[in-house]
Chain A
Amino acid sequence: MSDLVDKIKSMIKTFSYVTTGVLFSTALFISVFKPQASLDVTLLWQILCTTLICTLGNLLYPSREISTKQIVIRMFIHYLYIHVVIFSCAYFFDWFELNNGQMRVFMFICITVVFAAVSWFTWHEDKKTSELLNHSLEKYRKRE
């Protein structure tokens, strides 16, 4: 049960990070390629829907123990999965012309930057936790 709660908590956290990243990328994309565009409210729902599907990629990491090599492989699959999701959504929601090379490269860079940023934030959170653990370990030792 606590595994499920942990998983949901981690997915909510990832969802908020990814939403921020996607909103930022969308704003940048529209500013560069379609500065005159008038936007519909449906775009916001499309973004949330895309982000939600991207967040489901967290399910690639099981609760059971896996090796570091397995994690790296799964991170790579996760990265590819996000590309597939974003490009599929871009096609279905008609966000950009898939035959436009510049747009494809821009989107590829955005995905890579957001993926790297989310991974960094997650690592940073773990770093803070490890500092807390070290502080508590120090206190634990002093109690000996």
Chain B
Amino acid sequence: MLFVRNLLYSLRRYRFLLRQLVLRDFKVKYKRSVLGIAWSLLYPLLTMAVLALVFSNVFRFSTPGVSYIAYLLIGLTWFNYFSEASNLCMSTIVANFPLINKVYVPKYIFPLSKCLFVGINFLLTLIPLYLVILLTGTGLCWQHVLLPYCFLCLFLFTLGMGFFLAAVSVFLRDMFYIYGIVLSLWMYLTPVMYDIDIIMHPLLRFLMSLNPLYQLIRFARTVILSHATPSAAQFAACAAPALLAMLVGTLVFKKNQDRFVYYM
């Protein structure tokens, strides 16, 4: 209880810092480019165009009944949010050592700011995604109002992982390399480009369905592609890993945060 109260207090006190950090990331990211902030919309739009071009003509997995481009892009948008945000989170503590060593700032604010920053980018990529949804004739349905639930679960899952990675990488710098490999393996094990049904082995398929990212993507696909309401099990499969990741990530982070300064 005291922990929650302290957390709320520091969140209120440092919400200005949080906003400044997110703003800073935006400013610095597009600082020296001619098009500036327009890139945050243009970049995902163009990447999606490239992917759509490549995957609809060169590689093509079958996704019966639904548009493959929409299928692919949903998976990619979701997965990219996770991989980019968690990757950025991982280096936040190490990168901010000069700051942490000089003034007191609540350290959780750094991973949190990265998850929010990438989260805003994620919301911007939804614009080209919806363009694709409309252009491919996938169409809309009322179930789209359920998607914010999915975003929230994705955000919490990523944040929890981000806390864990940020804390661990302070003590084990090898994490930066290990996680890069883990991410690319994770990417191929997640049915982003292919349908999970092409996995013939039932046990393997079951194991793959335990992947939280797959469950989050499946939720979105159920809504966007099948125009269906996800089952209660699907709701639970999104929330459970998110809460678990938050619990473990926060605990690991909180338990170790006072020792960060010794490992610079």
Real binding pair: no
* Residues of A that sit less than 8 Å from B by CB: none
